Amino acid sequence: MPVISITNLTKKFNGFTAVDGISLEINEGEVFGLLGPNGAGKTTTISMLATILPPTSGTATLCGHDCATATDEVRKCIGIVFQDQSLDDELTGRENMDMHGRLYGMRDELRKNRMNELLKLVELEQFADKQIKTYSGGMKRRLEIARGLMHHPKILFLDEPTIGLDPQTRRKLWDYIKAVNRDERITIILTTHYMDEADELCDRIAIVDKGKIIALDTPEGHKKSLGGDVASVECSEPEKFAALLGKAKLAKKANVAEGGKVIATVENGGEAVPKIMALAEKNGIAVKSVLVKQPNLEDVFLHYTGREIRDEEAGEKDRMKGAMRMHGRR
């Protein structure tokens, strides 16, 4: 059953289209990923769904409430963990959570019990009465997730939840996110530009680029959509060789990735390698290496866009902050 329904959702900033007609439904209890580079429109989409920004056009409903006209009702049913840290460093972990509960009008006993329950969930009980400025980055992220769950939301937004964390801490945080989804029976909307994160956590993934959803499927469905293996070829004339692979019908699609390697989708990697080598030799192209593997989400993104995930020159967050300042003056 859909808990979020989005139809032609669009957001423009001074003529720039950050979100371009997105339509989708997200089911109750799902971990849904918005995967794409910085600047793709992920944070702007989350901000419209969370009623932080009004849409330029289109509609979105959460828990049956319209994001544009029923903002109070929407906010009661959501929790959000922002990309930028938003805890009060001078307060303790418990005090940060207590303040959040008070803002949502939670009764004293309910608030106390909920704090203890969530601090246990994210394994911060022994640090609850220490100031936030003594916490590590991973501990702050865990507390922000716990704080976002204080008022029993039906939907939790996690905007780039592991950005800036070391690999070990990232993986530990993934365990907490899985536990939250399982134990709280909550729908989670996750934005990320980490392929492994989306693959590990999400039931379905929308690949987003330049404000549009360019592919929507399960992680395995995305990989299977390529219809074969991926060959990575390091050679002397990558642009020429990519074109030759397509012309010879040895590859369903061939692109030149950053660093100059040719990334080609082939039906059967084992059979394709000798044919790739023969084609290169015939055309006087020197091959330094050929690597064949099963596709991952990075390969899927490259297949659909012709390039790897990268940061946009213009920051999406900067455009969004400017828009929020303008919206606040109205």
Specify whether the CB–CB gap between 71 and 51 falls below 8 A: yes
Q: Give 176-206 pLDDT, tens digit per residue.
A: 999 989 988 899 999 998 999 999 999 999 9
pLDDT at 251: 92
Specify whether the CB–CB gap between 77 and 70 falls below 8 A: no
Helices (H) and strands (E) in the chain — how many of each?
Answer: 12, 14
Q: Give 36-67 pLDDT, tens digit per residue.
A: 888 889 999 999 999 999 999 999 999 999 99
pLDDT at 17: 94
CATH class of the domain whose range is 2-222: alpha beta
| pLDDT mean values, one per 10 residues, the chain (330 residues) | 94 93 96 91 94 95 95 94 90 96 93 94 94 94 93 94 89 91 92 92 95 95 91 94 93 88 90 94 94 91 78 49 48
Give the Cα separation of 235 and 174 in Å (integer).
Answer: 38
pLDDT at 329: 44
pTM of the predicted structure, to 2 decimals: 0.84
The residue written with tokens 């455009």 in the block is: 319
Which residues have a Cβ under 8 Å from the Cβ of 112 and sit 6 or more positions away? Answer: none
The residue written with tokens 């509609």 in the block is: 59
Give the Cα separation of 255 and 22 in Å (integer).
Answer: 27
pLDDT at 330: 43
Q: Does domain 227-294 have CATH number 3.30.70.920?
A: yes
What are the extents of the domains in the chain?
2-222, 227-294
Name residue 229's amino acid: D
Same fold, 2-222 and 227-294: no
Give the Cα separation of 254 and 46 in Å (integer).
Answer: 33
Please name which of 182, 183, 226 lies closest in space to residue 201, comparing C-alpha atoms. 182
Please name which of 56, 55, 74 lies closest in space to residue 66, comparing C-alpha atoms. 74
Edge-to-edge strand list for the sheet holding 204-209: 78-81, 155-159, 187-192, 31-35, 204-209, 212-217
Specify whether the CB–CB gap between 209 and 310 falls below 8 A: no
The residue written with tokens 């919206």 in the block is: 327
Convert 69-99 to b/e letters by CB count within 10 Å (16 or more is b).
ebeeebbbbbbbbbbeeebeeeebbbbbbbe
* H or E segment to which residue 313 belongs: none
